Structure 1
Amino acid sequence: MLDEHRLTPASISKLEVHGAPNTRRALLDHVLKPLVDDSAAPGTTLGQVLDRIGEATRKLSRFDIFKEEGFNVFLSEAPRPEGAPADRTDLEVAINVKEKSRLVFTAGTDFGNAEGSAYTNAVARNIFGGAETLSINASTGTRTRSAYNATFSTPINGNPDLRLSVEALRSATQKPWASHEERLTGGNLRLAWLTENRDTHILSYSSVWRQLTGLSTTASPTVRADAGDSLKSALTHTFVRDRRDNPMLPQRGYLFRAVSELAGWGPLQGDVSFTKAELEAQGNLPLPLNGASLGAGFRFGLLYPLPTGYSLTGTAQPSRINDRFQLGGPTDVRGFKLGGLGPHDGADSVGGDVFAAGSISALLPLPRTGPESPLRLQFFANAGRLVALSTKTKSKSKGKEGKEGREGLAMDSATVFKSVKSAVGELGNGLPSLAAGVGLVYAHPAARFELNFSLPLVLRRGEEGRKGLQLIPSYHSVSGISSSQHGP
């Protein structure tokens, strides 16, 4: 009977939205006017109208200015005008919504990932009535000494799946694994969109002034050679396809992520020039035991130095420590210190230009908790290898002389290609660094927490493992205050 009613011809004669006093009508029209117009087409059925109303409300929810539990849709049959077809139902539609608080302030402390920090965050929603958002963040901690950023974001042409954002940032971060502090000042212009099959694309331009300063007395020659200022101007594209059933505790599905970056080449200018790519793939399968799953992941990254300007055959400078990959740590390759894998100069982890890392893990429900519990027992093993490009000579100079030493390391295009090819081949030379362990995983709605005991099994010369407990991450306390001009 229900299927028969869904096949009844129908149209929408009137549509109203209630509970959105701070939202511009133009924004609502972008979503709802096509719904009314499409229903007037001959052959439109009641089932199609209902499906389109559901799709429109879901689209409204993606603006993130309405409460999810606040959506209510009421349908009633409109008075039939004279001469209207007797077999066609004209509907009056009323959509009730509840706007989220326009101003939200949060403050709290974080502990985890070898760092403690305090933060404040202020978010202003729907500033001009078009689902615009202004977010201002400030934090200070044991490793990130200070970080400030402000981001303004707005949908384009009333489309919640197409957003443009502008960000200004400034930060100072201590990097004890490489005996220095890095200060960043700059901005980003970002365009993000979702495709029809829910893939995410992000295209961004960034310009950042970077200062490598605060060197310790034991800083290595490699770190000293890269000390000072640099300007990075880069285009970056990020693609994400996430088909996991639960990002926190995936039982099945896969994730694919690709990041491509072009810095300094052509019109981008700046004083560092390279192309950089990073790939990540993850898959999950359920095990016969209810609530248990098996997951595996693989990551690969490559940095390719380029000449400045528009030439592809000129000389290129070696990568800087600011741009090279770092590998190791509780949120990266468990069982190793932060930056513990890859090339070292003395006690400093100086990063690499090519890396590969993989992991496998099994998640099992704890006894008496059941498959619906957010708590799991985890067994894991992970491995990684990080390699730097070889150069003909090494700089032995310091300070300003170190910069001159970098000029002496310039490579022609043939040398760069051979060095990259050699570094990729080196990934398979011998066993990678390997660690295994066991731990507890708790999937909170806001974050995933892990407490693991890790044991390094294979450690290459110069690398640093970490045997024992690692916490990833733990949020100690959070407080929030919200206000709105029009109620809760």
Structure 2
Amino acid sequence: MASSLSPGGSRKQAGVNTLTEPQPDPVGLQTVLDNALAPASVHSIELHGATNTRRSLLDHIFNPIIESSRNPNTTLGDVTAQIGIASGKLSRLGIFREESTRVFLADAPRSQPGLDPNRTELDVSFNVRERGRFALSAGTDFGNSEGTAYTNAEVRNILGGAEKLTLNARVGTRTRSAYNATLSAPVNGNPDIQVALEALKSSAQKPWASHDEHLTGGSLKLAWAGVRPGDTHSFTFASIWRQLTGLTAQASPTIRHDAGDSVKNSLGYSYIRDRFDRSGIHSLPQSGHQLRITTELAGWGPLQGDVSFSKTEFELNKTLPGPRTSGVIFSGGLRLGLLYPLPFSYSLQGAALPSRVNDRFQLGGPTDVRGFKIGGLGPHDGSDAVGGDVFAAGGISMLFPLPVLGADSPLRLQLFANSGRLVALKHKGKSTEASSSLVGHGSGAVFKGVQSAVSDLVTGLPSTAAGFGLVYAHPVARFELNFSLPLVTRRGEESRKGLQFGVGINFL
């Protein structure tokens, strides 16, 4: 008979609750393998150590074991597979110490007459150790082209359902301040489906465009794992109040035109397929590929707000190993993006406003198109990088170990070449730095402007640079010191010849 679960070391069986200690595991791995096709079921399930965890959460994890045991065709292999799934879910909840999870199997006493003598009845005992409810940490972090110092506080398992409240404060080289609070929880006890509510407030410098940007708002996010390992999906609703302020005396007319307040209400979806082999150095995948697709719909229809557009980005990275035992790694990357202005109405036929500088793409810098300044590619108004609505960028590189250090060293020599093109929308064949020619034009004019901008991506040579440098693959981030030589620089863009230092997670 399959029985239900009771946390904290109690067993619920035939209406009797008794406190028990976990017993040694007499059903060994070899026994399971030798009898994988033998009929089996679960007689009882115990969980020891989950003193602060709700019964309802644990029922979602262990009920599949109980349900499968009611099937007369269930085998010992089926039971152990379900136990493995439940053990993995316990670990992924994030409230138990991963190394503490232990599973014990034992033959159940046959106290009930009429049971099939050929059917194995198992008592299953899980041992876990809960992590601390509170955690506080501080340190430094590295994002793309920025270093930050942070303080992070966590409150885990708040209501016993694996809820987590995260409070974060940080300052950085470009981020003056950033504060956010996130409350997350698994859905129906499934650690692979998470819902999160976030509130944020930040202030960041944008020196390449002569302004600061303040953000205040919140988001509601649903994230779930895909069918195949390494696949993740997320769906987000966000409402953000943006303030474009702190203009310098040299701010261009484009930046001054977009300065002030705006509200962006948006729906977003992202998909990541990660097939990288990170069995070696974590931040240097040895082989495989990674695909990332993000799309955002802002302002259209019921979303309202001050901006309306759809914005999509596509990124593909591929890594190939060199000759065996050589330590050489070949990699390539491709990034594409399109911002499409939309009307605010429920129809797609109304007039669309041009995109704003804080919504457009920026391209160039040590983590994407090396050999160019941050925001160095694409439309400029004076010295300000005002961004573009369509872009394409690609790069190839070869990493190989230094002769003295060998293939296991995280320090590598790099040869690279990369290029990119960033353009603004056009109307009637006339380029514009800030898409201002689209003001007052309907869907037809916008569509033609997008067509013209996309055709510009393959018109003439893209901005291109090549070079060499040193790469240090730290588990937290990747550090690069490169010497770059710009080979093609389009008019108005800002290249950077010589040494360039980059720190980040994702590199082109």
Letter in 2 for 1:250: P
Please state if 1:411 is matched with 2:446: no
Between the two structures, name the one with larger relative contact order (CA 8 Å, sep ≥ 6).
1
Matched with 1:182 is 213
Matched with 2:192 is 161
Whether the 8 Å CA contact 2:200–2:217 is kept in 1: the answer is yes
Matched with 1:126 is 157
Matched with 1:263 is 298
**Distance in 2, Cα, partners of 1:45 & 1:328:** 58
Residue in structure 2 matching 1:214, options 233, 243, 246: 246
Please state if 1:345 is matched with 2:375: no
**Distance in 2, Cα, partners of 1:373 & 1:59:** 35
Matched with 2:268 is 236
Task: Give 1:113 shift.
Answer: 5.5
Bigger drift between 92-101 and 200-209 goes to 92-101
RMSD: 2.4
Task: Give 1:227 shift.
Answer: 0.8
Bigger drift between 364-373 and 26-35 goes to 364-373
Residue in structure 1 matching 2:312, options 264, 277, 283: 277
Task: Give 1:394 shift.
Answer: 9.9
**Distance in 2, Cα, partners of 1:446 & 1:109:** 10
Query: Superposition pairs for residues 418-457 of structure 1, below 5 Å?
Result: 418-457=448-487
**Distance in 2, Cα, partners of 1:196 & 1:445:** 27
Task: Give 1:467 shift.
Answer: 2.7
Q: Deviations over 1:316-350 (max 9, x none)?
A: 11110010000011222222111111111110000
Matched with 1:148 is 179
**Distance in 1, Cα, partners of 2:199 & 2:57:** 27
Letter in 1 for 2:314: L
Task: Give 1:363 shift.
Answer: 2.4
Letter in 2 for 1:225: H
TM-aligned CA distance change 1:394 to 1:90, over 3 Å? closer
**Distance in 1, Cα, partners of 2:142 & 2:290:** 28
Bigger drift between 405-414 and 454-463 goes to 405-414
Whether the 8 Å CA contact 2:104–2:125 is kept in 1: the answer is yes
Whether the 8 Å CA contact 2:426–2:437 is kept in 1: the answer is no
Matched with 2:339 is 303
Task: Give 1:181 shift.
Answer: 0.7
Matched with 2:356 is 320
Whether the 8 Å CA contact 2:195–2:223 is kept in 1: the answer is yes
Matched with 1:461 is 491
Matched with 1:485 is none
Residue in structure 2 matching 1:106, options 134, 137, 144: 137
TM-aligned CA distance change 1:116 to 1:279, over 3 Å? closer
Matched with 2:22 is none
What secondary structure does 2:63 align onto? helix
Matched with 1:223 is 255
The answer for unaligned runs of 5 or more in structure 1 is 397-401, 476-488
Matched with 2:225 is 194
Residue in structure 2 matching 1:13, options 19, 43, 46: 43
Letter in 2 for 1:17: L
TM-aligned CA distance change 1:115 to 1:374, over 3 Å? closer
Bigger drift between 74-83 and 318-327 goes to 74-83
Whether the 8 Å CA contact 1:254–1:282 is kept in 2: the answer is yes
Matched with 2:128 is 97
**Distance in 1, Cα, partners of 2:143 & 2:237:** 31
Task: Give 1:274 shift.
Answer: 0.8
Whether the 8 Å CA contact 2:145–2:367 is kept in 1: the answer is no
TM-aligned CA distance change 1:372 to 1:6, over 3 Å? farther
Task: Give 1:424 shift.
Answer: 0.2
Whether the 8 Å CA contact 1:318–1:411 is kept in 2: the answer is no
What secondary structure does 2:35 align onto? helix
Aligned residues: 468
Task: Give 1:439 shift.
Answer: 2.9
What secondary structure does 1:473 align onto? strand
TM-score by length of 1: 0.90
Please state if 1:117 is matched with 2:109: no
TM-score by length of 2: 0.87
Q: Deviations over 1:197-220 (max 9, x none)?
A: 232111111111111111111111
Whether the 8 Å CA contact 1:112–1:471 is kept in 2: the answer is no
Please state if 1:250 is matched with 2:285: yes
Whether the 8 Å CA contact 1:206–1:235 is kept in 2: the answer is yes
The answer for unaligned runs of 5 or more in structure 2 is 1-29
Matched with 1:480 is none
Bigger drift between 80-89 and 199-208 goes to 80-89
Q: Deviations over 1:119-178 (max 9, x none)?
A: 211111111111111111111233211111111111111111111111111111110100
Bigger drift between 446-455 and 423-432 goes to 446-455
Whether the 8 Å CA contact 2:438–2:446 is kept in 1: the answer is no
Task: Give 1:115 shift.
Answer: 4.3
Matched with 2:18 is none
Bigger drift between 83-92 and 266-275 goes to 83-92
**Distance in 2, Cα, partners of 1:111 & 1:202:** 23
TM-aligned CA distance change 1:449 to 1:98, over 3 Å? farther
What secondary structure does 1:6 align onto? coil
**Distance in 1, Cα, partners of 2:407 & 2:74:** 44
